[in-house]
Amino acid sequence: MHLLLRGQDFHFEMENICRLFLPDEKIVTLYDTEDDGSFPGLTVTGTLTNEGGKVHLSVRLHIGDTDNTLTDTLPETADKDTCELGMTTLLYRLLCDWLQTSQPWGLVTGVRPVKLLRRLTALHGEEAALSHFRDRLLVSEPKLKRLHTVLHTENELLALSRPDSCSLYVSIPFCPTRCDYCSFVSQTVQRAASLIPEYVEKLKEELAAVGDMQRKLGLRLETVYFGGGTPTTLSAEMLSELFQVIERHFDLSHVREYTVEAGRPDTVTEEKFRAIAAAGIDRISINPQTLQDPVLQAIGRRHTVEDFYNAFHLARRCGMNNINTDLIAGLPGDTADGFARSLEGIVALKPENVTVHTLCLKRASNLVIRRREDVQKAADTAGMIAYAGDRLTESGYQPYYLYRQSRAIGNQENIGWSVPGKSGLYNVYIMDETHTIFGCGAGAVTKLKQPGSDYLERLFNFKFPYEYIARFDEMLARKERVISFYEQYR
Ligand code: SF4
């Protein structure tokens, strides 16, 4: 499609609105060009002019015989944000009308709607912030209600963090095999097995250096999170060695939560759970994604539903009393009934956390075929997410964090649910960017947060394990910035 911008440059938001409806369209943006009928396919023209003491907005949608235009007029004093919102609203309404649909999150395209609601609440009060979401951003009532609940749950968790708080993320970017829908930079064990021992050695070195910095700076470590990949791809001995380095070098006296993702049931053993328990870690994640064997096969997960149940019960026997389980709505081959059965199976196990994700689509090759399928798929996935919300609420869970991802089917969201008192703090802190997060391991990003402000500085580790190992010294040298960053604010 072509997006023609005349008298304005709201390309970022206008492109994002187009992607909500047409995620597979390649968007060609041109400036100060007229739609003279020569562009193939869909053409959208957004024009802003100043005339007679007013700002005039117009958006035209043109494809074949369809040629619709909407206009709006704003006072001359309208600021850039108001003009942008006016323009995107016209575009949104034209696309809704043309495609006979609407979006559950309306004009919200960012991944952190809770953060936006919190910011607007701080500026204008809660009622005004909610009205903005409802009336200006056109967010549907069920999503707004959920957002409001999450805001309040999150506020209690955020209040636990202080200006000198920090968290630690440890990246283990290895998995036994690759799931079809995976978007992470994880290496399969078959391909990267030879790298693992050296990777663990370097990671221990990095953890020791960062731990020493945390102590030196007197920062309060609130949460530790091992993610990936699948951390339990490592042997029990390797996991124990990493836990011991953390214990020796970090001050753990304030840690409220320590999580190890044991995501793939095909990686866990009693020995690994015992190693996790021995280190005093009680929060783990075991992720079935679905409790339907044919769906597991369809997404390339090389484990069965029975493997998941065995892993879950083993974890309980090893003393794990805070378990998260992930489900995904919209998986290929899944149905509303299948998803409901998966959810019932999970609820019966009474995990402390359930995270319900929406599948994100990869780019499709045939737009027309995909679009027809997508409409049905979006409706089914919306039903699954709504069902999960009702059923988990009835079962005593509360939503405590929420985020969106681009290309999620039907523009649905991801929500973390927990029983009271067991919400995953790290998930909230990373999503809200509440305090500094030290990232160790390949692909990890350290986000240094200026105390008392929203300013963040990022330090990137190399993405792939072989780069992480080969250029380790260079990367560790970058970490020196942590000390000078904090020294500015002393
Ligand atoms: S377990 Fe997670 S990180 Fe690993 S391949 Fe599957 S989706 Fe990707």
Q: Is 464 in the pocket of ligand 1 (CB under 6 A)?
A: no
Same domain for 343 and 227?
yes
Ligand 1 touching residue 180 (CB < 6 A):
no
Position 91 pLDDT exceeds 50? yes
Could you identify the atom of ligand 1 that is nearest to the CA of residue 181?
7
**For 250-270, what is each residue's pLDDT tens digit?**
999 999 999 999 999 999 999
**The token pair that represents 198 in the structure block:** 């050296």
302 lines ligand 1 (CB under 6 A): no
- 107 is a domain residue: no
Residues 301 and 430 in one domain: yes
In sequence order, which residues have a C-beta less than 8 Å from that of residue 391 and are 6 or more positions away? 340, 343, 344, 347
In 161-194, which positions are buried (b, 16+ CB within 10 angstroms) versus exposed (e)? Answer: beeebbbbbbbbbbbbebbebeeeebbebeebee
Could you tell me if 89 and 120 lie in one domain? no
pLDDT digits (tens, 9 = 90+) for 366-416: 333 445 566 678 888 999 999 999 999 999 999 999 999 988 988 999 999
- What separation in Å is there between the alpha carbon of 446 and the centre of ligand 1? 22
pLDDT tens, position by position, 122-137: 999 999 999 999 999 9
Q: Which domain range does residue 315 map to?
A: 160-478
Query: 184 pLDDT exceeds 80?
Result: no
In a domain, 470, yes or no: yes
Q: What are phi and psi of 9, to 5 degrees?
A: -135, 65
- Tell me, using a 6 A CB cutoff, whether residue 173 lines ligand 1: no
Whether 108 is covered by a domain: the verdict is no
Q: Please provide residue 407's backbone torsions phi and psi, each rounded to the nearest 5 degrees.
A: 65, 15
- Judge if 316 and 452 occupy the same domain: yes
Q: Could you tell me the distance, in angstroms and rounded to a whole number, from the CA of residue 228 to the centre of ligand 1?
A: 8
List the beta strands (DSSP E) in 212-305. Answer: 220-228, 257-261, 283-285
Q: Say if ligand 1 is within 6 A of residue 360 CB.
A: no
Integer angstrom CA distances of residue 91 from 54, 67, 143, 399, 456: 20, 13, 21, 32, 33
- What's the number of domains the chain is made of? 3
Looking at the structure, tell me whether residues 126 and 264 fall in a common domain: no
Report the C-alpha gap between 414 and 456 in whole angstroms: 24
Cis peptide preceding 53, ω within 30 of 0: no
Is residue 55 domain-shared with residue 189, that is, in the same domain? no
**Residue 248, domain member (yes or no):** yes
pLDDT tens digits, 45-54 = 999 999 999 9
132, 182: one domain: no
Residue 488, in any domain of the structure: no
- Same domain for 348 and 218, yes or no, is yes
**Exposed / middle / buried, residue 147 (Cβ in 10 Å: 0-12, 13-18, 19+):** buried
Mutate to test the pocket of ligand 1, among 174, 178, 355 (most ligand atoms within 8 A of CB): 178
Q: Is the CB of residue 411 less than 8 Å from the CB of residue 419?
A: no
CA distances from 14 to 21, 25, 74, 480 (A): 11, 13, 18, 40
CA dihedral of residues 82, 85, 90, 93 (deg, nearest 10) = -140
Q: Are 326 and 343 contained in the same domain?
A: yes
Ligand 1: centre distance to CA 234 (Å)? 14
| CATH number for position 90 | 3.30.160
Kindly state whether residues 378 and 249 are assigned to the same domain: yes
Residue located via tokens 């539903």: 305
- 229 and 131 assigned to the same domain: no
Q: Are 144 and 169 in a shared domain?
A: no
Q: What is the pTM assigned to this prediction?
A: 0.92
455 band by pLDDT with thresholds 50, 70 and 90: very high
User: Is residue 178 in contact with ligand 1, taking CB distance under 6 Å?
Assistant: yes
Would you say the CB of residue 230 lies under 6 angstroms from ligand 1?
yes
Scored b (16 or more CB within 10 A) or e, 304-335 reads: bbebbbebbebbeebebebbbbbbbbbbeebe
**Last residue of a domain, which of 90, 124, 156?**
156
